[in-house]
Structure 1
Amino acid sequence: MRAALSALAFLALAAAPAAGAPTLSLPVDCELGKTCYVQQYMDHDPGAGHSDFMCGPRSYDAHKGTDFAVPTAAAARENAVRVIAAAAGTVMGVRDEMADAWDGKIDAAAIKGRDCGNGIVIDHGDGWQTQYCHLRQGSVRVKRGERVASGAHLGDMGMSGRTEFAHMHLSVRKDGEPVDPFAPDGPECGDAPLKAMWDTAPLFQEAGLLDLGFATQVPEFTDVKMGLADQNLSRTSPAIITFSYFFGGLAGDSVDMTLTGPGNFEVSQNYELPKNLAIFFRAIGKKRRSAPWPGGDYVAETTLTRNGKIIAEQRGSFTIPR
């Protein structure tokens, strides 16, 4: 049973475009905090470390864009997520022949020098450009030299290029230099309103619970990210496992998981994160001893707590026929 993106903790940001810059629409046709989220923001740390525009850890060293993601690769493969032009402009470059790694296995030789995968570059004039990476092979709908309107369907989110999860990487550049559309004038870590280049105030998502499922053994992390870990269970399954997949974990966060079922079936576990984790999963469960599992409803519940406050929670269930 695959669960939908859980409710997320977020902050609304003020939307005041930088002077002379294009006003940007969100470049993916999904709802932030509902069906998609931002996995990584642009890195503002000039050194070897990393810092997002809120002076938090939601980036990685030298990351020059914003990663708009869906919970799992299966979510992008089964239901096309449209990538749209953030602003009107002229298409300057297109690539659409690279294969998608829907199984999460990257062919390093095939993507050498082409980390962006299938992508599009749009020129907006006055030195401003946007670039859209990791599009689905065969989905690109525009050609070089074509004039596109803001909101035009460019292609679909995929798994091409160097990517470990399904997302679309957006780069914004001015005269070839990267600009963070969430903070074009640099990070603002205090209480002052944050300037942004967006036409509507986006959400800054602290953390979230991306997927909850069930399996007969603790799954591989790659399978969790790809959406391939969820399995059907029966009375003779060797084990009953529930797993939860998260983003935005901080050191000290608490993960509480419970799994209950008929016949006094119950298992629970608390995990405290020892360090910041951009994406991670946790699992609990029981092995079958000899007798078949009792028929009935099995229910899993997971919460992610930070500083005593629940910031994400999810519930899922499956049924073993009696």
Structure 2
Amino acid sequence: MTRPLVFALALAPSAISAQEAPFRLALPIDCTPGEDCFIQNYVDADPGPEAADFTCGPLSYDDHKGTDIRVATIAQQREGVDVLAAAPGVVLGLRDEMPDILQGWDGAPELNGRDCGNGVSIAHDGGWETQYCHMARGSVAVKPGDRVETGARLGSVGLSGQSQFPHLHLSVRKDGVEIDPFDPDDTATCGDTTPADTLWDTPPAYLPGGLLDAGFAPGVPDWFDIQAGEADAEVTSQSPLVIWGYAFGARAGDTLRLTVTGPQGSVIDDVVPLDKTQAQLFRANGRRAPEEGWAEGDYVGRVALMRDGEMLGEREVPLSIGD
């Protein structure tokens, strides 16, 4: 659970009336949802010990109180992805000194209630407040008391705090009460991915899962390298040829199709069943080189995440072997 910064209030969740909320949000991150960023987790809409997003889907976890907008890999995060003010307001406070290390990695600090990591909290008119978490150390570009407009740069996406992947966690509060910006009135129905009333100027489309990355390697990559965006490695004519795919939002019963074609035709065509629901995962499949080696030339790999016959996401990656 991402906790508020020490200067921010956090009370028990409750619904509000849309008539009391003319407040609107712009996208708080400089990216294109569904292309180079993805919503990994929504506010937990289940009041009990289980978790569900506003559609009754599994893109949340118990007591999650914000919206997690992720970039695919740490390599993308290190290139610099701006965090933006979602609405005009005044900076209440910030934190900017925590290291960018995912929890569970060597050197990750004790959080001691600082789950948000580096972040910024902004007060808006009408009792509204937004909080931006897991920002990169040293990136915060505002100070308390600053007036910011919608779209103003606040800093950069990072890995700080209670973070398992590179992302921005956005919390929205009204008079101290946590609000789901996709369902502020708590009236969404199961399966409804486009509720009529949201706080967004332009609501990001609900994606129930998809592909984050894909590539080739001469062996099954390490999970650390997949997350880092460093799993691609040279494939030679004599090495094994492995194609891998990195997905989010997979559910039990989904499949990941991995195919490779080359100068000699089909090289790999495998369907990998996924037997459990997972927030993020990768799968790989490959072949040893034939005695004569892989034919020189251009190869194309495709990875597709499928659910009930529908493609949720696809990645195509090129490979050249030989001169």
TM-score when scaled to structure 1? 0.87
Aligned CA-pair RMSD: 2.2
* CA drift at 1:22: 2.1
Indicate the SS of the match to 1:74: helix
1:153-200 deviations in Å (ceiling 9; x for gaps): 100111111212111000111232211000011151155843100112
CA contact (8 A) 1:18 1:197 kept: no
Match of 2:216 in 1: 214
Give the partner amino acid of 2:152.
A
- SS of the equivalent of 1:280 reads strand
Specify the code of the residue in structure 1 equivalent to 2:46: D
In structure 2, the residue matched to 1:233 is 235
The AA in structure 2 aligned to 1:312 is G
Of 17-26 and 140-149, deviating more is: 17-26
Deviation of 1:108 after TM superposition, in Å, equals 4.2
C-alpha change, 1:215 and 1:17, in structure 2 (3 Å) is farther
Q: Note if contact 1:94-1:118 (Cα within 8 Å) is conserved in structure 2.
A: yes
Query: Distance between the aligned counterparts of 2:303 and 2:109, measured in 1?
Result: 39
Query: Offset of 1:44 from its aligned partner?
Result: 0.9
Aligned position for 1:118: 118
Provide the residue aligned with 1:4 in structure 2.
none
- Point out which structure has higher relative CO (alpha carbons under 8 A, 6+ apart): 1
**Cα separation, 2, equivalents of 1:86 and 1:215:** 40
Matched letter for residue 90 of structure 1: V
Give the Cα–Cα distance (whole angstroms) in 2 for the partners of residues 266 and 280 of structure 1.
24
* 2:311 alignment partner in structure 1: 310
Shift of 1:64: 0.7
Q: 2:5 aligns to what?
A: none
Alpha carbons of structure 1 residues 105 and 206: separation in structure 2 relative to 1, 3 Å: same
Task: Select between 38-47 and 214-223 the one with higher mean Cα deviation.
Answer: 214-223
CA–CA distance in structure 2, aligned partners of residues 258 and 306 of structure 1: 17
Q: How many angstroms does 1:218 deviate by?
A: 0.9
Aligned mates of 1:105, 1:111 — CA distance in 2: 13
Shift in CA distance, 226/21, structure 1 to aligned 2, threshold 3 Å = farther
Aligned equivalent of 2:287: 286
CA distance in 2, matches of 1:163, 1:287: 37
Q: Unaligned regions of 5+ residues in structure 2, if any?
A: 1-16
* Aligned equivalents of 2:283, 2:63: Cα separation in 1: 28
Residue 44 in structure 1 maps to residue 45 in structure 2: yes
Counterparts of 2:44 and 2:181, CA distance in 1: 12
Q: Indicate yes or no: 2:100 matched with 1:86.
A: no
How big is the shift at 1:260?
A: 2.9
CA–CA separation in structure 2 for the residues paired with 1:22 and 1:36: 24
Q: How does 1:49-68 map to 2 (within 5 A)?
A: 49-68=50-69
Percent identity, aligned pairs only, is: 46
* Contact 1:104–1:222 under 8 Å retained in 2: no
Residue deviations 1:262-295 (CA, integer Å, cap 9, x gap): 4566122212222222211111112346654332
What is residue 161 of structure 1 aligned with on the other side?
161
Gaps spanning 5+ residues in structure 1: where?
1-15
